[in-house]
Structure 1
């Protein structure tokens, strides 16, 4: 029985003239309206916006923490399956004789810079160090924080957050878009990935909604990335120049000031918009190559002056541990704990203090010592056994709070980032096979990220573990950790030179992320066209700047409002990602069946 031909008649109506010539008016207007309302809300009622976003985020995590975590595990296993199956793995994204547009070096450079460049600069030292202090093994009391035994857990979850799972999120989007664009000659836009499920409905309101969700998610994902990046940029600039206005106080570990963040943001976004105007083939490509070269220089500094032997040993052990725990890490989701659940397991004498005990016992960022020290005089008078039981009873709550604050935050970030990175990956991957795409965009970047995390982060941990840093690195803010670690390793003019290089590297990573995001948003709004209007690229550069700036102001110069918005905005797009997996599986199975039927018909006719 022959199959019907797949639906490929995707018609995204665009304006033939006027200001929005070449753009889909519903997508462009609704996307701009949504972003503009967010900007106005954060600008006019900053405190209300911040409080509301915090409340929405908390409620969302209570209901959807498990959904986020299990979904990401499914993405990783879905890609593993289609890469391992010979028939699907050898499918080519394009014609059978299609050759890749970019060399492997440029392809990897652009993929690396767009996918995790800024995140690696901010978190390469901060994440392993932070997880050394608090991870599920320390939260549950299995090992002591900041101990040699805690290193295993620190890197197990560092690899989880920056490894195969994270890149799988990007590649689900990228592979879906590339498959339909290059094997079925469809527009390179989000709705195309759901055409096997939507059919002709993709041309209507349903398709518009999917593309709008992609634009909004991209805005929020890129906004958080740039928010962290400009914070690190200000930290570095302050440590190099000592200019007081860049921070809230004169101390080296002080947080960046709002004025410093806004100034850095304006500079980065101006450069990003100019780069976006030049297009992928020039601005993004050249900046990405520079990023990779400077990254290798920074890596070499840590190899020579850092704890390289510690890093090599940790890399091997952590990689084996990550793979050994791959399945439980993929589907391990913790549920929130209610006060009633907590009270039900307390001894009778502790029930009158349930509120106070619950708050401290479920705090994932504290320790048993801080829990005991924080008790009031009456609660502290409880027996040691009762207090121990109360703290143990809060383990589930601590594990949930930790997962929501670390892992789920990351999954939301990668999901919000996936329309941007996925479409960008699809744009630069024409001519590659499905297996090559998955290995090249999941496995290879993950192994490089692991090296970064063990070489840079391992040096920070080793300095603290052996007492060389005397707590200086642990005391630094997230975005200042890299510079403080460098200060413990090297000194003098060489430190100044490397710090300046790090600032430039952060800036080029930021520019690459922002200009790629601007290009991607315009591609979605123009119905998949890669030749978008220069004026609209500039407009979206300005809008992106306003979103980040106003949410920074709403958060009092902090990143809370940005991250809360991103976690909320990522939820609807996570549903789209799951549908993409179903859609791609259906398309591949039916295409293989059609191919088999054609071969059978040819054989019969001969």
Structure 2
């Protein structure tokens, strides 16, 4: 008995005339209304918005930290199975004769620019250095922070955050969209990926909700990326020009001022909106190639003037360690510990000081020495055994706090960015096989990310380890670490040239991300159409600017409100990603069953 044909009659009703011609009115209006409410809230009540977002994020992580981490592990396992199963892996994204539209170099360049870009510029030095100070091995007391032994843990989790798991999030979305678009001729929009589960309901309320979640996630993911990018732009501009208004206190801190951030944001978003309106975004292939070439120049500078020997040995040993711990890290999820649980395992003499001991023992960003030094006189008089027992009792809490602050933050960022990058990956991958798409978009970018982290981050760690940097890199903010590391390696006019190049590279990555994000949001709202109205692109450029600007102000010039919003907003879309996996598995299984049935029918005696 033949299976029914798959549901492909996706009809997203769009307006035939008026201002919203070509757009789905429910998606456009609800998306704009949701974003406008966030802007007004952050603008009118900035302190309340920041405190509320912080509280919501804290509660969400308490309940859903395990969900976030296990979900990402499942994405990796799912894609691995799809790629390795012969029947699904050799399936072509398109007709059998279709060939890839782009060369491997251009394909990879565009993946690199869209999927990382600004994030790699900000975190290539900052993340390995930060994890050298605090990672699960140091938090557990197994190794000493900022020691040679701590390098292994630093890179194990650096590779986790930018490796196969991270790219798998993008590829789940991209593969789902590409499969239906190129094998079934369906539009490139988020709801398409759930048609095997939703069927005709995809054309109604359920489909609208899926697309709206995609738009909101894209806004928040792009907003955080641009937030970090403009912060790095301000840091670079200050180091180049010395303009004191760009930072809060040029004598004591490199923290960008609110004025500096808003100015940089306006410059980036005006350029991005003009690019989206003028159609310059169609040349993203060429801009991506330029970005990749400039990135290679930066990499070459670190290879020549940095610590390449240290980086090479670190890369090799860290890659082996990452693979060895791959599956254990894939499903490693920590839960918070309550004060009651903490108190239940304390020695009796420590009972009167539960509150004080709990706060210090569960602080993932401190050390055991800091915990002991921070005790009040009475608590400090406890026996060494009691204090040691109290610190050990807080290990679970420290591990949870660390994971929520590092790993879960990353997963939320990748998830929020996945509608944008996934749709983009789908657009550029027609003609490739499923196996080629998965391995090409998961393994190749990951290996390059690992090299970046080893070379740039390795230079920073090595200079701090041997004393050449004298603590300057460790003291730098996240977004200024790259410039401070360059300053410790090179000097004079060459340093100025490289700093200017880094600012320009960050700028082009930002413009590409914002431009493409605006186009993707409009594509989703127009039911998959790439020909969207110019005025709507301008409006979304303005709305995106307002979202970032008001949340920066609500966060007091910091990125806390932005990141909190993203972590909250990414949760519902993580559910959509899980449903995409179920939906794609169902579609592939049924397509294979149809092919087998057709082959058997053609080969039967009565079929000739």
Query: TM-score, normalised to structure 1's length?
Result: 0.99
Kindly indicate whether the alpha-carbon contact (under 8 Å) linking 1:122 and 1:482 is maintained by their aligned counterparts in 2.
yes
Match for residue 254 of structure 1? Answer: 254
Distance 1:282 1:331 in 2: 40
1:48-447 counterparts in 2 under 5 A? 48-251=48-251, 253-279=253-279, 282-447=282-447
SS of the counterpart of 1:299?
A: helix
Map of 2:479 onto structure 1: 479
Cα root mean square deviation, aligned: 0.9
Q: Find the counterpart in structure 2 of residue 547 from structure 1.
A: 547
Q: Cα offset for 1:108? A: 1.2
1:14 aligns with 2:25: no
Which residues of structure 1 form unaligned runs of 5+? none
Query: Matched residue pairs, number?
Result: 606
CA contact (8 A) 2:281 2:516 kept: no
Deviation of the 1:303 alpha carbon: 0.4
1:253–1:475 CA contact under 8 A, matched in 2: no
Distance of 1:540 and 1:286 partners within structure 2: 24
Q: Which secondary structure does the structure 1 equivalent of 2:30 belong to?
A: helix
593-602 or 574-583, larger mean C-alpha shift: 593-602
Query: What do the CA deviations read for 1:50-86 (whole angstroms, capped 9, x no partner)?
Result: 0000000000000000000000000011101111111
Match for residue 470 of structure 1? 470
CA shift for structure 1 position 282: 3.1
Aligned equivalents of 1:102, 1:277: Cα separation in 2: 25
Conserved 8 A contact 1:275-1:284: no
Contact 2:186 2:192 in 1 (8 A): yes
Secondary structure, in 3 states, of the residue corresponding to 2:145? coil
Q: Which stretch has the larger CA shift, 443-452 or 280-289? A: 280-289
Q: Distance in 2 between matches of 1:438 and 1:329?
A: 20
Q: Give, in whole Å, the separation in 2 of the partners of 1:460 and 1:379.
A: 38
Cα deviation for residue 383 of structure 1 reads 1.1
Once the two structures are superposed, residues 202-254 of structure 1 have per-residue CA deviations (whole angstroms, 9 ceiling, x without a partner) of 10000000000000000000000000000000000000100011000123742
What is the CA–CA distance in structure 1 between the aligned matches of 2:427 and 2:33, rounded to whole Å? Answer: 27
CA deviation after TM superposition for structure 1 residue 286, in Å: 2.2
User: In the alignment, is the contact (CA less than 8 A) between 1:253 and 1:480 conserved in 2?
Assistant: no
- Is the contact made by 2:88 and 2:434 (CA closer than 8 Å) also made in structure 1? yes
CA distance in 2, matches of 1:333, 1:592: 35
CA separation in 2, counterparts of 1:249 and 1:222? 28
Work out whether residues 412 and 566 of structure 1, in 8 Å CA contact, stay in contact via their aligned partners in 2.
yes
Deviations 1:308-343 (A, max 9, x none): 011110111111111111111100000100000000
The aligned counterpart of 2:587 is 587
Distance 1:506 1:164, change over 3 A: same
Q: Would the aligned equivalents of 1:14 and 1:23 in 2 still touch at CA under 8 Å?
A: yes
Partner Cα distance (1:564, 1:391) in 2? 29
2-structure distance, mates of 1:504, 1:391 = 47
CA–CA distance in 2 between the matches of 1:252 and 1:478? 16
Task: Report the alpha carbon displacement of residue 102 of structure 1 after superposing the two structures with TM.
Answer: 2.0
Task: Tell me which residue corresponds to 2:596.
Answer: 596
Measured in 2, the distance between the counterparts of 1:246 and 1:353 equals 45
Q: Is the 8 A contact 1:89 1:433 kept in 2?
A: yes
Question: How many angstroms does 1:280 deviate by?
Answer: 7.4
Q: Tell me the CA shift for residue 444 of structure 1.
A: 0.5
The answer to whether the 8 A contact 1:23-1:525 is kept is yes
Mapped partners of 2:141, 2:228: distance in 1? 31
Q: 1:235 to 1:101 in 2, by over 3 A?
A: same
Give the superposition deviation at 1:287. Answer: 1.7
2 CA distance for matches of 1:60 and 1:224? Answer: 18
Q: Are residue 2 (structure 1) and residue 2 (structure 2) matched?
A: yes
How many Å separate the matches in 2 of 1:274 and 1:315? 41
CA distance in structure 1 between the aligned counterparts of 2:519 and 2:93, rounded to whole angstroms:
21
Match of 1:514 in 2: 514
Partner of 1:501: 501
Q: Give distance in 1, aligned partners of 2:287 and 2:370.
A: 47
CA distance in 2, matches of 1:95, 1:28: 33
SS of equivalent residue, structure 1 residue 91: coil
Secondary structure of the residue that 2:255 maps to in structure 1? Answer: coil
Unaligned runs of 5+ in 2: none
Displacement after TM superposition at 1:278 (Å): 4.2
> Is the Cα contact below 8 Å between 1:305 and 1:489 reproduced in 2?
yes
Distance in 1 (CA, whole Å) between partners of 2:325 and 2:452 is 21
Question: Separation in 2 of the partners of 1:286 and 1:542?
Answer: 26
Cα deviation code 1:458-490 (max 9, x no counterpart): 000000011110100000000000000000000
Q: Is the 8 A contact 2:246 2:256 kept in 1?
A: yes
Q: CA–CA distance in 1 between the matches of 2:54 and 2:143?
A: 31
**How far off its partner does 1:279 sit?**
4.1
Give the CA deviation at 1:281.
6.5
